[in-house]
Amino acid sequence: MTVTSDRAAPVPGSAAIVVEGLTKRFAARTAFEDVTFSVEHGEVFGFLGPNGAGKTSTVRTLGTLIAPTSGRATVAGLTLRADNGVEIRRRISVMPESPGLYLRLSVAENLAYFAGLYELSDARGRIERALRAVNLAERADDPCRSLSKGLRQRVGLARALLNDPQVLFLDEPTSGLDPVAAREVHELIDELRKRGVTIFLTTHRLAEAERLCDRVGIMNTTLRMVGRPDELREKLFTKSLEIRTRDPLPDPERLLAALPGAEGWHRNQDGTYVFAVADPELAAPEAARAVVAAGGDLLSLSPTRHSLEDVYLQLIDTDVEAQS
């Protein structure tokens, strides 16, 4: 899978997206409020949150489909304003959650329509390249009606690549796809990342975000936190060592005292001891020796691994959709 580019290089040092205090309200309902973040060129930025958290509304706002209530933003080097709408839309691509294909038209006819809307030169060549990028060149003449949901999603991606966008917004690109189709979409996103395309990816699949995204923002009407997944883990969770022994330790406090930088301990319901330490790597050998010295049978010892899901669940604790 290869994707070629004739996209103009972005201005060095400038961010692809800058958002400052952006808010959108629909009458009495707040879609999102006081959202501030930036996305660098070439970055894959994940936007996570539960249903109703304001992810799609944010994409629609940055994609100039809906107007913000307040706040400022810059997208692909242009200030988000109504009179910049056409030029912003020329520089970006948005793939909504549902690909929205004309089912009575063929794959190539669908893409030709959008090539016309973007007024692209060499439309035929671009369509061929976009279809090759998503491995659909052989299906160009098939009516979209005959394609599976996964293949339709790939046509949607091919369509989003037609104008060689500076910023590509993907709204839940793997929603409703089976694991194989989802993996194909992930591979394509990986390819685009290698090519240097800035990708703004909304998803509630945390494993997907962890695998694909350089940084993530966790949203629940307000933006709760932004950073690399490992940064978020560090910010939210104390570092710790997990120790499993065959039998309960006779005196865990003595073990705690033996560990460098230890701050406390507790025992999980499954019997695992968790020792909060400043540096798990440094403390691990000491911990192993201390357990053995205390007469314990050591079964396993490892630094505690917090997934992005743990981070997410720590930050998102309410059902936004039910409340709105």
List of residues contacting other proteins (CB under 8 A): 26-27, 29, 57, 60, 63, 65-67, 86-87, 89-90, 92-96, 98-105, 109, 113-119, 156, 159
- Which CB, 162 or 287, lies closer to other proteins? 162
- Which CB, 100 or 271, lies closer to other proteins? 100
- Which CB, 156 or 252, lies closer to other proteins? 156
Phi, psi of 200 (to 5 degrees): -110, 110
Output the smallest distance, CB 132 to other proteins, in A.
21
Output the smallest distance, CB 200 to other proteins, in A.
13
Output the smallest distance, CB 173 to other proteins, in A.
13
Output the smallest distance, CB 95 to other proteins, in A.
8
Give the C-alpha separation, 302 to 286, whole Å. 12
- Which CB, 46 or 96, lies closer to other proteins? 96
- Which CB, 71 or 96, lies closer to other proteins? 96
Output the smallest distance, CB 3 to other proteins, in A.
20
Give the C-alpha separation, 39 to 216, whole Å. 10
Q: Which residue has the tokens 């879609």?
A: 31
Q: Is the dihedral of CA 308, 49, 228, 231 positive or negative?
A: negative
Output the smallest distance, CB 115 to other proteins, in A.
8
Output the smallest distance, CB 117 to other proteins, in A.
4
- Which CB, 104 or 266, lies closer to other proteins? 104
Output the smallest distance, CB 105 to other proteins, in A.
6
- Which CB, 15 or 62, lies closer to other proteins? 62
- Which CB, 109 or 242, lies closer to other proteins? 109
